[in-house]
Amino acid sequence: MSTLHPIQHAAQALQLAGENINPQYRPGYHIAAPANWINDPNGMIQFNGEYHVFYQHHPYDEHWGPMHWGHVKSKDLIHWEHCPIALAPGDECDRDGCFSGSAVDDSGVLTLVYTGHHYTDREKDLFTQNQNIAFSHDGIHFHKYEANPVIAAPPADSAHHFRDPKVWKHQDTWYMVLGNATKDGHGRVIRYHSADLRQWTYDGIVAQSDGTLGFMWECPDFFELDGRHVLLISPQGIERTAERYLNLFQTGYLIGDYDYTTNDFQHGEFHELDHGHDFYAVQTLLDDQGRRIAIGWMDMWESDMPTKAHGWAGALTLPRVLNVDDRGRLLMNPVEEMKLLRQEQFSLGEAFTVKDHYHVTMNESLLEIRAVFDLNNSDAETVGLTLYSDTDDQTVILYDIANEKLILDASQAGKPQDGIRTAPLQRAALLTLRIFVDRSSIEVFANDGAATLTSRIYPQGSPARIELVATDGQALVQEWTCWSLRDIWHHADADNTAK
């Protein structure tokens, strides 16, 4: 039996695993663990001038297991460095896992608030959950509070689902929202408050499902933005329809008006936040520039993850700035700092017309693409682009003008089953696409965040060319610019790995 501390033991296992990774699909500029499994982003915060992101992590295996908290930090949201594992399970308060949570700055002390997981019957997936805190003075090494748990059990009227605390301060009071479920299987978000992060009082329900929005609401986040209140949730168990709720679980939002005194949240209908295959468990932070920045898990439960065979699984999305538009919809756009990754620029200069296809050679794995189509001066039925590899794998992004929907087709890029996702996108005079391609992901932002599609892709070959597309007519391309992007993790041999 090892005498090492659980965090040291995990670090040792992680270092060993990292030596055997196949880098073929390793991200060049997204957050991923040094090796093995990750899922939800946790504890996003700006602390002492640096951005910190924690994440659910299993350092011993490329599959989900007893959850630890992995940790990265950055001065600019772009160049990340791995820090030691922050939390490991095994204490009485978190015997079977340190599940998701958040981070706050408590008068200069970085404090993590997280869910402790305990199996009562592992085979039947029966468990209890509680809430705990851990703290750090240097932002790197954490100590669990000796009197954990700070909330020992859920309210009497709820099921055993009781997790993912998001904590923030409003005026002089700390507030916590938690993902929860009723005994008859309706997802909901509940609220607590505290003066000191240690003694918590239950305040009641913020919002709950009417029976159509799933059996459990995971990973809640609640904040004021552009004069409205936004509740982000990841509901489990919403029934799939023709073009909505196509993933196993969803991430979306409710927008409305909130009264702290009465805990009354009057909100509109639920909207999905991203319509791609791989976006879940989003969390946000408010930075010193006043930006509400969101990051999600760039995978989905029970999806095919070819990288498990390579010694790792899971990545996080780009950081995105959230705003509410004048229609009451949430917009997501990449942070301005993404421009720091740009290297070589390629542009076709003047506006030009595409009929059928227009090829551009572009053998880069890490790309940012900006394409602007003038729809008022186009008569094509669909416009967009296709990314090809040298083995003719293809990832297709199209805008169906008449039906006003944006389409991502990854069925020939590693998602042979269920490879198509669509997002509603109202027609405008211009279609502006901003696309970020990494070795195993694509993130599409249309019309300044009015629609986004995030998916993992697994092309077999190396990148070869991009084809601009206009079907059944022609399209005027007002702008076409590409940038090769810097590899912040320096996987120098990733693109030369034998396929």
Helix, strand or coil, per DSSP, at residue 358: strand
Residue whose token pair is 């602007």: 372
Strand 252-259 to 320-324 pairing: unpaired
Give ∠ CA 58-63-67 in degrees, rounded to 5: 30
- Contacts of range 201-206, beta carbons closer than 8 Å, 24 or more positions apart: 202/155, 203/263, 204/263, 205/263, 206/177, 206/231, 206/263, 206/265
Contacts of 142 (CB under 8 A, 6+ apart): 86, 87, 110, 112, 134, 135, 136
Q: Which amino acid does the sequence have at 30? A: H
Distance CA 491, CA 29 (A): 10
Distance CA 375, CA 219 (A): 39
Distance CA 106, CA 426 (A): 44
Contacts of 332 (CB under 8 A, 6+ apart): 273, 274, 294, 320, 321, 322, 445, 449, 452
Distance CA 64, CA 247 (A): 19
Distance CA 23, CA 59 (A): 17
Q: Is 40 a catalytic residue?
A: yes
Distance CA 443, CA 338 (A): 13
Distance CA 334, CA 444 (A): 10
Residue whose token pair is 């700092």: 337
Distance CA 444, CA 367 (A): 12
DSSP H/E element including 7: helix 6-18
If you write DSSP's letter for every residue of 36-78 in order, what string do you get? EEEEEEEEEEEETTEEEEEEEEETT-SS--S-EEEEEEESSSS
Distance CA 322, CA 29 (A): 20
Cβ atoms within 10 Å of 215's Cβ, excluding its own:
18
Of 40, 94, 221, 409, the active-site residue reads 40
Positions marked catalytic: 40
